[in-house]
């Protein structure tokens, strides 16, 4: 199962692969079940995985920066 394939959620590289996969499915409506589009699908999944891992790493870095900022603030007395 793929994540949401909406164009605004992905890079240009992945969007091109998504478009190629959709086109392959349209052109080979029956043969897609026998692996005709598997190479394009594999490339697309690899691209989506790379995007996901990059986003995950950026999120980790952002969280670390936020923790550092919060710990650096002087403690206020209540």
| Full 3-state SS string of 38-65 | HHHHHHHHHHHHHHHHHHHHHHHHHHHH
User: Which residues 6+ apart lie within 8 Å of 68 measured at CB?
Assistant: none
* pTM for the whole structure: 0.74
Query: In the prediction, which pLDDT does 74 show?
Result: 72
Category of 11 on φ-ψ map: left (φ > 0), alpha (ψ -120 to 50) or beta: beta
pLDDT of res. 78: 55
| Mean pLDDT, residues 52-78 | 88
Number of CB atoms found within 10 A of residue 20's CB: 16
Q: What is the mean pLDDT of residues 50-60?
A: 96
pLDDT at 4 over 90: no
Residue 8 has pLDDT above 70, yes or no: yes
Q: pLDDT of 14-28, one tens digit each?
A: 999 999 999 999 998
């Amino acid at each position: 199962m793929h994540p949401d394939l909406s164009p605004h959620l992905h890079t240009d590289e992945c969007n091109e692969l998504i478009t190629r996969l959709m086109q392959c499915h349209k052109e080979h409506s029956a043969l897609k079940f026998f692996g005709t589009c598997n190479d394009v699908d594999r490339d697309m999944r690899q691209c989506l995985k790379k995007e996901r891992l990059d986003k995950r790493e950026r999120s980790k870095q952002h969280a670390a920066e936020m923790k550092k900022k919060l710990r650096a603030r002087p403690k206020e007395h209540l």
